[in-house]
Copies of this chain bind each other. A is one copy, B any other.
Amino acid sequence: MAARTAPTSPITTPCCATVGSTDFDVADATELAKGFAALADPVRLHLLSMITTSGPGGACVCDLIEPSGRSQPTVSHHLKVLREAGLVTSEKRGTWAWYHVVPDRVAQLRGALAD
């Protein structure tokens, strides 16, 4: 805690003024942080980009491995991270797996960055 009385800001705000009126929900923060953590890797951003720009049928994993520049197990791992973060869903059709973006989850994270 601030024991000494803080000085006045050179502008108009007094020191130690209440920072905003909205209470910060720690549970929400943890959920958002998990989402952002999934985006905190260039390979996963690349994967998400490819899945996003794929058609309505989704993106086949077989098309994601080579452009990612990573091994198949590594790509599978990153897709799992994206899935568990709620950013994509997967669907198996025959031998192939197809991934789709979850627009609502992306929008939620985008909305958290509103100004």
Contact = CB atoms under 8 A, between A and B. Distances in A.
B110 A13 contact: no
Interface in A34-60: 34, 36-37, 39-42, 44-46, 49-60
A7 interface: yes
Interface in A1-48: 1-2, 4, 6-7, 9-13, 15-17, 19-22, 24, 26, 29-30, 32-34, 36-37, 39-42, 44-46
Q: What band does the interface of chain A fall in when counting residues whose beta carbon is under 8 Å from B?
A: 35 or more
A51 to B, nearest CB: 7
Given A10-B93, A36-B37, 16 more contacts: A9-B57, A9-B58, A9-B93, A10-B57, A11-B55, A17-B55, A22-B53, A24-B49, A29-B46, A32-B45, A33-B39, A33-B42, A39-B113, A103-B115, A107-B115, A110-B110
Interface of A: 1-2, 4, 6-7, 9-13, 15-17, 19-22, 24, 26, 29-30, 32-34, 36-37, 39-42, 44-46, 49-60, 62-64, 66-67, 93-96, 98, 103, 106-107, 109-110, 112-115
